[in-house]
Amino acid sequence: MIWVLTAGFGDGHNTAARCVGEALRRRLPHESVVVTDLVSEAQPMVAEALKSAYQVAITHVPSAWRAVYRLLENPKLAGDNWLQAPLKQALVNGLEQHRPRLIISTYPFYSHLLKALPDKSLVPPLVTVVTDSTSVHPIWTSAPSDLYCVSDVETEQVLQQQGVAAEQIRVTGFPVDLAFAAPLPDHAKAAPGQRILYLPSTPARTVAATLEALRPLLNEGVRLTIPAGRQWKRLYHTLRRFDDTLRPGQMTLIGWTQDMPHLLRSHDVIICKAGGAILHEVLAARTPAVIDYVVPGQEEGNAAYLVSRDCGVRTQTPQETGSEVRRLLADGGAVARRMQENMIPVSVPDAALRTADAALEMVSVSKKPAP
């Protein structure tokens, strides 16, 4: 049995866990692979409150989150303390119940919890999938892991600077949905006209201003798709008010969707925040990004990685977002096509399989793919 541990503080941890789990099942169809958000299972009410507070902080009070992010650099906060007792007990219970031969963690606290267990006899090899890129929080490496899987060479170098031995690091790419590695249907490629995919994450007034900045493009025939997802309830009235002012077909609103790989690959430009998961999905899709928001500290390295390779741009205002989208789409999308070419060397759509293979090297199992 292989146990994949995650926590729902940001999409990156869950995306990586889900995709690695999927890749492991493909590699080992007869192996039990369990993906668990141990924080939510052990303390559901506390976890829900913390996740809500996290979303509010990164959306509305980023300066407060920056302070918390820096505070967490203190190793004493991640070390053994009474606040972790329910989580440690849940971890012990899971180890006794599942008896995993391998643990893969996409959240940094689990290495600290495993280190704090008095009885290590049930603890198998640990593989940590680092979801930060370029700027890596020290909490990822301040407790031991047998192997670290990272998204790029720059992140590998940062881990070495933090004291991790080179032989304990594998550059595998960020685990994204395996659908990104499948051919895009011809009908999606041949769709006429230019299309913008907007993943709103900023406060409602900023979203409204961004939509207004995009209006001239829509009036010129560019189409806009907005999969609001978890933001649907928060932004419903803002999105509907704008949609009511448009002609039919100019904008498509979507709530929850499981078709993000198709959406990301079938549009010409993406407006999004600098989340670890979404930016690596953007790279896997090879679709240029206009980054309209960066969570302080946590996502700055992600944005820098994309921008430094001329695979996207970072904007500071809704008006700048509209201007940059226009620039990327001008002259038949000449700038966007250049960025797509720049993405080819750093696009890793099969990163989940690479991560699974690296993890399986830690244990003695057959890696023969499923037929």
First to last CA, the chain: 20
Pairing of strands 147-150, 126-129: parallel
The answer, yes or no, to whether residue 65 has pLDDT greater than 80, is: no
Highest mean predicted confidence (pLDDT) among 34-48, 59-73, 324-338: 324-338
Helices (H), 7-152: 11-27, 38-42, 44-60, 62-71, 75-78, 85-98, 109-116
Do 301 and 339 lie in one domain? The reply is yes
180 exposure class (CB count in 10 Å sphere: 0-12, 13-18, 19+): buried
Do 162 and 190 lie in one domain? The reply is no
- pLDDT recorded at residue 368: 44
Do 76 and 168 lie in one domain? The reply is yes
Do 254 and 147 lie in one domain? The reply is no
> Is this structure's pTM higher than 0.85?
yes
Do 137 and 191 lie in one domain? The reply is no
Do 166 and 148 lie in one domain? The reply is yes
- pLDDT recorded at residue 370: 41
Residue range 309-351, pLDDT digits in tens: 999 999 999 999 999 999 999 999 999 999 999 999 999 999 9
- What range does the domain containing 59 cover? 2-176+350-360
Q: State the sign of the Cα–Cα–Cα–Cα dihedral 156, 160, 163, 165.
A: positive
Do 133 and 210 lie in one domain? The reply is no
> How many structural domains does the chain have?
2
In a domain, 95, yes or no: yes
Residue range 161-183, pLDDT digits in tens: 999 999 999 999 999 999 999 88
Average pLDDT value over all residues in the chain: 90
What is the rounded CA–CA span in Å between residue 155 and residue 133? 6
In a domain, 365, yes or no: no
The answer, yes or no, to whether residue 209 has pLDDT greater than 50, is: yes
In a domain, 367, yes or no: no
Do 160 and 272 lie in one domain? The reply is no
Do 28 and 163 lie in one domain? The reply is yes
The answer, yes or no, to whether residue 78 has pLDDT greater than 60, is: no
Closest by CA position to 170, among listed 108, 104, 81: 104
| Share of residues in the chain with pLDDT > 70 (%) | 92
SS3 26: helix
Do residues 287 and 196 make contact, with C-beta atoms less than 8 angstroms apart?
no
Do 342 and 354 lie in one domain? The reply is no
The CATH number of the domain holding residue 34 is: 3.40.50
The CATH number of the domain holding residue 288 is: 3.40.50.2000
Do 187 and 306 lie in one domain? The reply is yes
SS (H, E, C) 308-347: HCCCEEECCCHHHHHHHHHHHHHHHHHHHHHHHHHHHHHC
In a domain, 369, yes or no: no
